[in-house]
Amino acid sequence: MKFELAKAVGAAATWALAKVAHRPAANFPGKAGLVVDPDLIAHLKPRVSEGTIVVVGTNGKTTVTNLLADVLEAYGKTVACNRTGANLDSGVASALLHARTADWGVFESDELWLAKIMPQLQPDFVILLNLFRDQLDRAGEIDHVQQRIAEALASSPGTVLVYNADDPFCQAIADHSANKCKPFGISEDLGLLQNKVADSGLCQACDAELDYAWHQYGQLGSYRCPRCGFARTEPMYRARGVRIDRQGISFGVLRHGTTVGHLESPLAGAYMTYNLLATCAAADCCNIPFEYVERAIHAFAPDNGRLQAYHVGGHDVLLNLAKNPVGLNQNLRIVADAPGPKAAAFFINDKEADGHDVSWLWDVDFEELATVDDLVVFAGGIRRNDLQVRLKYAGIDAELVDGARDLARKAACAKPDAGLFLIANYTALPDVKAELDEMARDEKAFEPKASDAGHAAVRTCTHEVGIPTCNQVVSPASQTLPHAKLTIVHLYPELLNLYGDGGNVAVLATRAHRRAIDVEVVRATRGEPVDFSQADIVFLGGGPDREQRAASRSLLDQATALQDYVEGGGVLLAICGGFQILGRTWLLGNETVPGLGILDIETKRAKGGSHNRLVGNVALESPLAKAPVVGYENHAGRTFLGDGCEPFGRIIDGRGEGNNGRDGFDGARYRNAVATYLHGPLLAKNPEIADWLIEKALARRAVENGSPAPALSALDDRAERAANAFMCAKLGVRAR
Ligand code: GLN
């Protein structure tokens, strides 16, 4: 009865959306149907007669889902598929409702929703592509995502797990799973340039540092734990002889060492090698002959905004989705490698589906673009102010942009024959794509006129690209600070780096540098002894529990030296996990981890452990700044201050949780040590705090040298202030 009613509700919803609202029905029919019949997916499953595949993973799942559906269709099968990326249970139910009957079901699933979908769907195969940091406000930390996927697999024991063995996160899931597993991987070093931040350098079993024979990108590669033997399983499906160049990607596919076929694809980006290999592996598991895989991959012309090509206003245009550091880093390579003059625009929103926190922009190596010739860069999307600040500290003056049309106009001014690259995150993508679709249609309809208009735009444009004075020191500083030098010690950047906090070091270094102060940044990794007597500013970022515990334990050896440094007036900034470590003890689940005992604080966990998190944007009033201090918190720890320190600030937005969700305060101050829960990173949007730290560090050196305390010259902080004001407005707090 329920099922019949759910089908009727789904059909009515589909009809209403199509006929009345003229919208595709990718989610709503399934959502409505699931309300009536919570087991709707299980009840609809018999519509699929031959088999079902679920594709899951942080990056590439829409592409692989579409590729697999194309392969099956090329092979003559009918397919039920949520092609547009509606990947919650409602999207899967909607696809099944629309299908009526199909030979195969191919469904993309969100990582956290897999545990809802799998018990009902009991798919034949799950394709696990990769796990990277993404939407951390929803996921918390990556081990939570791993746990959820493991639970999902346990609920469907007959499912075969086809997984990326190059990813230690996926390997750990396979190691703990009772399901049958078929690993795939790239069995040679692609020789790619490495990025600054990678997830999971630690062994998934024992926390020792992994040894890599080679590293592709992110944490992907060939790894082994020297201590406990946790390692990449030799893949059943391998890519060999991989060639990646401007023509595309080609490689041989092997099953158990025997060649299955050779693939040539015009698709761009090293990461696409993994998507193609995953498709080949999955298709082979379904007994589809390689020629159909080849055919479908050749014909693959995505029109869903993933690597979609256009020609508009005389420009070659490439649109792509990127929603996390690894994905965006891969896109930067595509931009950098493209020949000729070019313009790149990034569109970053912060809606529910994007994640409300944009700190991750600081884990992206935008610095790589600063040295690319003949390139102009634009910042768009709801959080374009944050993006502009990020780009500014990467050495790039980016003009704000209002969408694809605005970009085409501004890019034509700057570089008339430029190739355009539009990179957008989740909710930013549809608007950008809609504009491009419309522009491409107009172009077809009015070809000669449209190009005339393009040239007119070039002639009439008068303004320059970029914020002209963004990077300049407003008042000359070199006279005020002769021979000044700052040494910034960044403690354990390889472990405590999950939320873009390393950006604080970049902000400190850049702001000092712009005032003609020499800066040295010392990256001190785990186990390395640090000479704190040489340090002017010490920085500790936040991190996931596993890495935080490893950092905390290792730092115990240096606790006394760091304590002496702080007691002697040394400047220190600690964020979130780094803040917790400074206390006497901190709790990880039921485990009490000894801290460094530098601050009079104690950190506990609430019921629910690491999943019970305090998450969201925060505004503070702090004695260290005139403007509200804004940032983003995401922590499970609840910290309580003793009498020995003051809070860093008082929460003024009415919703922020701060130290413990109870007393209305965030962070701690003790001598010249500042600690806070705020990511963002903190200093990018709160330059007054950055300058307070620099000033204190310089003053300490001046006392030592017997010279007068130097005054810092003002910098042009319009971009930083705009990002701060945006958040103040969002939180309903008065900006300064
Ligand atoms: N792992 C710590 C917690 O959850 C710190 C997280 C962070 O640095 N954001 O409390």
Q: Identify the band that residue 29 occupies on the pLDDT scale cut at 50, 70 and 90.
A: confident
Q: Over pLDDT 70: what percentage of the chain?
A: 93
239 in the same domain as 312? no
Q: What atom in ligand 1 is closest to the CA of residue 637?
A: 10
pLDDT attached to residue 533 = 95
Q: Are the C-beta atoms of 421 and 415 separated by less than 8 Å?
A: no
542 lines ligand 1 (CB under 6 A): yes
Q: Which amino acid is at 286?
A: C
Mean pLDDT to the nearest integer, 194-200? 85
Name the residue of 133, 359, 498, 582 to mutate for ligand 1: max ligand atoms within 8 A of Cβ.
498
Q: How far is the CA of 493 from the centre of ligand 1 (A)?
A: 15
Q: What atom in ligand 1 is closest to the CA of residue 548?
A: 1
- What would the pLDDT profile of 7-26 be if each residue is shown by its tens digit? 777 777 676 666 655 566 77
500 lines ligand 1 (CB under 6 A): no
Of 405, 424, 457, the domain-final residue: 457
Residue 136 scores a pLDDT above 80: yes
pLDDT attached to residue 34 = 87
pLDDT attached to residue 477 = 41
- What would the pLDDT profile of 300-337 be if each residue is shown by its tens digit? 988 889 889 999 988 999 999 999 999 999 999 999 99
The verdict on residue 469 lying in a domain is: no
Mean pLDDT to the nearest integer, 682-691? 98
Residue 61 scores a pLDDT above 60: yes
Residue 466 scores a pLDDT above 90: no
Residue 556, helix vs strand vs coil: helix
Range of the domain at 222: 39-299
What six digits make up the tokens of 346? Answer: 């990034």
Q: How far is the CA of 696 from the centre of ligand 1 (A)?
A: 27
Q: How far is the CA of 610 from the centre of ligand 1 (A)?
A: 8
pLDDT attached to residue 736 = 75
Residue 341 scores a pLDDT above 50: yes
pLDDT attached to residue 609 = 81
Of 427, 457, 487, the domain-final residue: 457
The verdict on residue 639 lying in a domain is: yes
Sheet holding 342-347, edge to edge: 308-312, 315-321, 419-424, 342-347, 375-380, 399-400
The verdict on residue 29 lying in a domain is: no
523 in the same domain as 432? no
Please give the Cα distance from 736 to 725 (Å, whole number).
8
Better-predicted residue by pLDDT, 589 or 354: 354
594 in the same domain as 705? yes
Q: Which amino acid is at 523?
A: R
416 in the same domain as 274? no
Alpha carbon of residue 301 to chain centroid: 26
Residue 450 scores a pLDDT above 60: no
Better-predicted residue by pLDDT, 136 or 649: 649
The verdict on residue 23 lying in a domain is: no
- What would the pLDDT profile of 592-636 be if each residue is shown by its tens digit? 999 999 999 999 999 888 889 999 999 999 999 999 999 999 999
Q: How far is the CA of 583 from the centre of ligand 1 (A)?
A: 14
The verdict on residue 601 lying in a domain is: yes
Please give the Cα distance from 140 to 631 (Å, whole number).
16
Better-predicted residue by pLDDT, 557 or 86: 557
Count of all residues that appear for the chain in the document: 736
CATH of residue 180: 3.40.1190.10
Q: How far is the CA of 524 from the centre of ligand 1 (A)?
A: 20
Sheet holding 585-588, edge to edge: 591-594, 585-588, 601-605, 637-641
SS3 content of the chain, % helix, strand, coil (to 5): 40, 25, 40
pLDDT attached to residue 10 = 73
571 lines ligand 1 (CB under 6 A): no
Residue 106 scores a pLDDT above 80: yes
488 in the same domain as 404? no
Residue 457 scores a pLDDT above 80: no
109 in the same domain as 84? yes
521 in the same domain as 669? yes
Q: How far is the CA of 32 from the centre of ligand 1 (A)?
A: 37
Calculated CA dihedral for residues 562, 540, 699, 689, nearest 10 degrees: -150
The verdict on residue 721 lying in a domain is: yes
Residue 56 scores a pLDDT above 80: yes
pLDDT attached to residue 24 = 61
Residue 715 scores a pLDDT above 70: yes
Of 35-44, 443-452, 506-515, 716-725, give the lowest mean pLDDT range. Answer: 443-452
Alpha carbon of residue 205 to chain centroid: 24
Angle of the 114-121 helix axis to the 89-99 helix axis, nearest 10: 40
pLDDT attached to residue 16 = 66
Q: 215, 315, 356, 679: which one is catalytic? A: 679
Does residue 576 have an active-site annotation?
Answer: yes
676 in the same domain as 619? yes
376 lines ligand 1 (CB under 6 A): no
344 in the same domain as 262? no
From atom 8 of ligand 1, which residue's Cα is the shortest distance away? 542
pLDDT attached to residue 473 = 33
Of 299, 328, 348, the domain-final residue: 299
631 lines ligand 1 (CB under 6 A): no
Q: How far is the CA of 31 from the centre of ligand 1 (A)?
A: 34
Please give the Cα distance from 14 to 24 (Å, whole number).
8
CATH of residue 610: 3.40.50.880
Mean pLDDT to the nearest integer, 411-415? 87
Q: What atom in ligand 1 is closest to the CA of residue 542?
A: 8
pLDDT attached to residue 22 = 55
84 in the same domain as 107? yes
Does residue 286 have an active-site annotation?
Answer: no
The verdict on residue 120 lying in a domain is: yes
313 in the same domain as 261? no
Q: Identify the band that residue 447 occupies on the pLDDT scale cut at 50, 70 and 90.
A: very low
Nearest Cα to Cα of residue 210 among 221, 499, 173, 144: 221
pLDDT attached to residue 458 = 28
Q: What atom in ligand 1 is closest to the CA of residue 634?
A: 9
Residue 446 scores a pLDDT above 60: no
- Cis before 681? omega within 30: yes
pLDDT attached to residue 139 = 82
319 in the same domain as 408? yes
548 lines ligand 1 (CB under 6 A): yes
Residue 589 scores a pLDDT above 80: no
The verdict on residue 473 lying in a domain is: no
- What would the pLDDT profile of 546-584 be if each residue is shown by its tens digit? 999 999 999 999 999 999 999 999 999 999 999 999 999
**Which helix (H) or strand (E) covers residue 460, if one does?**
helix 447-460
636 lines ligand 1 (CB under 6 A): yes
Q: What atom in ligand 1 is closest to the CA of residue 603?
A: 10
Residue 692 scores a pLDDT above 70: yes
Residue 451 scores a pLDDT above 80: no
- In whole numbers, what is the pLDDT of the chain averaged over residues? 91
Name the residue of 580, 582, 677 to mutate for ligand 1: max ligand atoms within 8 A of Cβ.
580
| 194: CB partners within 8 A, 6+ apart | 215, 217
Q: Identify the band that residue 417 occupies on the pLDDT scale cut at 50, 70 and 90.
A: confident
Mean pLDDT to the nearest integer, 710-722? 95
CATH of residue 410: 3.90.190.20
Backbone angles phi, psi at 35, to 5 degrees: -65, -45
Please give the Cα distance from 677 to 658 (Å, whole number).
7
- Domain total of the chain: 3
Q: How far is the CA of 595 from the centre of ligand 1 (A)?
A: 14
Q: pTM of the full predicted structure?
A: 0.89
Residue 212 scores a pLDDT above 70: yes
Better-predicted residue by pLDDT, 230 or 483: 230
pLDDT attached to residue 587 = 86
Q: 81, 285, 413, 576: which one is catalytic? A: 576
pLDDT attached to residue 15 = 65
pLDDT attached to residue 86 = 87
pLDDT attached to residue 17 = 61
